[in-house]
Amino acid sequence: MTTFLWVLLGLGFIIFYIVYVQNRLVILRNRFKNAFSQIDIQLKRRYDLIPNLVETARAYMTHERETLEAVTKARQQAVQASQQARQHPDDAAAIQALVSAETILTGSMGRLFALSENYPELRADQSMAQVMEELTSTENRIAFARQHYNDSVMIYNSYREQFPQALFAQNFGFREAEFFRLETPEARNTLKISFR
């Protein structure tokens, strides 16, 4: 009778531990998904500001049509990638596609800002100054949200890969989460926006 009781207690402990691991993985996954939603909010704000930036610049930068079109195209691609990632923040391919699109967008915006330095009237424009101020604030928020997301992903991935959780994680469908790492050294730095 006591052996049966010990076996029953052992099985109960194993079941309890499996439930605990699964619940902990769910909590950590939800945390990194929530952290991604904060990135998504800031990216949407950024995407909403870019058309204003392009339209204001278009009035002054008549000879820079290709650059303006590149920013617009990069924005559209980033919006599409963001929508995919928003629907599946736990899909590493969707996050990687967003990172790639963001890298392209950041590069094209950097070229736009570099060219805009050649247009003193544009730098003096009040609408442009306001959009640039909002973009600067948004870029800082994106950097902060990206750091929070990456911290959440690191905690989730670390827990998921530890023994004995690693035995259960894959079977329960808990895949490795993708970090939000920008692909080029220039893109890793917060986009510098200055018209002074």
83 in any annotated domain: yes
pLDDT in tens, 43-52: 999 999 999 9
pTM: 0.85
What domain range includes position 122?
31-188
Residue 19 has pLDDT above 50, yes or no: yes
pLDDT in tens, 166-183: 988 988 899 999 999 887
Count of domains forming the chain: 1
CA distance 124 to 128: 8
Residue 196 has pLDDT above 50, yes or no: no
Residue with tokens 């590149």, as numbered in its chain: 70
On the CB side of 131, how many CA atoms lie within 13 Å of its CA? 20
Residue 174: CATH number of its domain: 1.20.1440.20
The tokens describing 117, both together, are 């330095």
Q: Is the peptide bond before 164 cis (omega within 30 degrees of 0)?
A: yes
